[in-house]
Amino acid sequence: MRSILITGGNGGLGLGIGRYFLEKQDDAQVWLGVRSNRGAATALADEFDGRCRLVDLEVTSREAWEAAVSTMTEAHGRLDVLVNNAGMHRDALLATMDDDAWHSVVSSNLDSVFFGCRAVIPTMMRQRFGRIVNIASLSAILPPLGQTNYAAAKAGVVALTQTLAKEVARAGITVNAVLPGYIETEALAPMDEEAAKQAKRGIPMRRFGQPAEVAAAVAFLACQDAGYVTGSALKIDGGIF
């Protein structure tokens, strides 16, 4: 049995990662960390009854993280995999960006990873095993206009990942990041047809990625056999960078 926590479990990418684990690994016990908008997450839990559950999780709250980890360890006695996937973006040029747009994006994308990693490390150290996969973004290394807040936060996730990987390596814990580019989720919903065509022209593969393609990379980094892979930042972008 493998106990897996995925934050942002109500979004397209979080649901895709959760489904991948559930379909590909019979021993996976998946917990979807959610705060609101539970419909799709509840549907996945119903589909995989007994193997997929929801857990209340406000990812920017230390207390919420401690409660979620406690719930999981009481149920399974362990916590094997954390996928820090929750996040948001509020794009604007820096000159016109208000304070709340800065702080909310940095908090949801970077503070959440700090709180999450810190919450699971004690359990993973006692186990002498753990896999942490942090979902960053291609914006961390190839930032577009209007994303100073989001790009800074995701670059921080990569740096946090690489530093933490060194701190916990001897305890049998790996920490890696994946950097998705354009992925077919609700994040692309505001993009009109012409903007989508233009974006695809900038991708050597000439298409957007699928959540399952990100999930496959996450599952590899989370598996037993990836024990010598840590501190990596794997881009999944169709060749953009």
Q: What is the model's pLDDT at position 36? A: 85
Q: Which of 57, 53, 12 lies closest to 33 in space, CA to CA?
A: 57
Instruction: Let me know if 228 is a catalytic residue.
Output: no
Question: Checking phi first, is residue 133 left (phi over 0); if not, alpha (psi -120 to 50) or beta?
Answer: beta
183 neighbors 211 (Cβ within 8 angstroms): yes
Question: What percent of the chain has a predicted confidence (pLDDT) above 70?
Answer: 100
Tell me which of 20, 150, 182, 228 is the catalytic residue.
150
Q: What is the model's pLDDT at position 186? A: 80
Token readout for 223 is: 């598996």
Mind listing the pLDDT tens digit for each residue in 94-119? 999 999 999 999 999 999 999 999 99
Lowest mean pLDDT among 30-44, 180-194, 198-212: 180-194
Asked if pLDDT for residue 190 goes beyond 80, the answer is: no
Token readout for 113 is: 């990873």
Distances in Å between the alpha carbon of 172 and those of 108, 121, 128, 136, 216? 28, 11, 5, 22, 22
Asked if pLDDT for residue 29 goes beyond 90, the answer is: yes
Quickly state the pLDDT bin for 192 (edges 50, 70, 90): confident
- In degrees, rounded to 5, the angle at the alpha carbon of residue 158 between the alpha carbons of residues 179 and 226 is 70
Average pLDDT over residues 7-11: 94
Quickly state the pLDDT bin for 56 (edges 50, 70, 90): very high
Residue with tokens 């989720």: 185
Give the C-alpha separation, 58 to 120, whole Å. 15
Report the 3 state secondary structure along 54-93: EEECCCCCHHHHHHHHHHHHHHHCCCCEEEECCCCCCCEC
Quickly state the pLDDT bin for 188 (edges 50, 70, 90): confident
Q: What is the model's pLDDT at position 147? A: 96
- Count of CB atoms situated within 10 Å of the CB of 36: 7
Domains along the chain? 2-236 (3.40.50.720)
